[in-house]
Structure 1
Amino acid sequence: MAIKERKEREKQEMRNLIIESATQLFLKQGYDKTSIRSIADDIEYSPATIYLYFKDKDEIFYVIHENAFDILDKHLRQHDGIADPFERLGAIGRTYIKFGLENPDYYDLMFIMRAPMEQIKNEEKWKAGECAFGYLLTTLSECLEQKKIRPAELHVTAIMVWSFVHGLVSLYVRERMCILMMEDDATREVLYSSLDLFMANLKT
Structure 2
Amino acid sequence: MGRKEKDQQQIEDVRLRILEAAKKLFLKEGYEATSIRKIAAEIKLSPTTIYLYYKDKSDIAYTLHKEGFKVLGEQFMVLQHVESGFERLKAMGRIYINFAIQNTDFYQLMFIMKEPMEFISDKDCCEWEEGEFAFGALQQTVLDCKAEGYFNGLNENNVALNIWALVHGLCSLKLQGHLDHVASAHLHVPEDRNILEEAFETLVLMLDKMK
Aligned: 1:113 with 2:116: no
TM-score of the pair, normalised by structure 1: 0.91
Name the structure 2 match of 1:58: 58
- Give the superposed CA RMSD: 1.7
Aligned: 1:132 with 2:134: yes
| 1:141-152 paired onto structure 2 within 5 Å | 141-152=143-154
Name the structure 2 match of 1:82: 82
Q: Map Cα deviations across residues 95-120 of structure 1 (whole Å, 9 max, x no partner).
A: 21222122222212211124252432
Aligned: 1:198 with 2:206: yes
**Counterpart-to-counterpart distance in 2, 1:197 and 1:168:** 16
Greater shift, 112-121 or 43-52, is seen at 112-121
Q: Map Cα deviations across residues 36-70 of structure 1 (whole Å, 9 max, x no partner).
A: 01001101111011001100001101111111111
2:183 is aligned, of 161, 180, 184, to 180
TM-score of the pair, normalised by structure 2: 0.88
In structure 2, runs of 5+ residues without a counterpart are none
**Counterpart-to-counterpart distance in 1, 2:53 and 2:118:** 18
**Counterpart-to-counterpart distance in 1, 2:202 and 2:102:** 18
Q: Map Cα deviations across residues 154-182 of structure 1 (whole Å, 9 max, x no partner).
A: 21111111111111111111110111104
Identity of aligned residues (%): 39
Task: Name segments (4+ residues, structure 1) moved above 3 Å.
Answer: none
**Counterpart-to-counterpart distance in 2, 1:65 and 1:199:** 30
Contact 1:62 1:120 in 2 (8 A): yes
| 1:19-34 paired onto structure 2 within 5 Å | 19-34=19-34
**Counterpart-to-counterpart distance in 2, 1:29 and 1:130:** 29
**Counterpart-to-counterpart distance in 1, 2:129 and 2:81:** 23
Contact 1:93 1:195 in 2 (8 A): no
**Counterpart-to-counterpart distance in 1, 2:37 and 2:192:** 39
Give, as a single letter, the amino acid of the residue that structure 2 aligns with 1:119: F
Contact 1:30 1:113 in 2 (8 A): no
Give, as a single letter, the amino acid of the residue that structure 2 aligns with 1:101: I
**Counterpart-to-counterpart distance in 2, 1:176 and 1:106:** 20
**Counterpart-to-counterpart distance in 2, 1:184 and 1:28:** 29
Q: Map Cα deviations across residues 65-106 of structure 1 (whole Å, 9 max, x no partner).
A: 111111111222222221111111111112212221222222
Contact 2:61 2:116 in 1 (8 A): no
**Counterpart-to-counterpart distance in 1, 2:205 and 2:173:** 18
Give the match's secondary structure for 1:152.
coil
Aligned: 1:3 with 2:11: no
Name the structure 2 match of 1:92: 92
Greater shift, 151-160 or 188-197, is seen at 188-197
Q: CA deviation at 1:185?
A: 4.1
* Higher RCO, Cα 8 Å, sep 6+: 1
Query: For this pair of structures, how many residues does the alignment match?
Result: 203
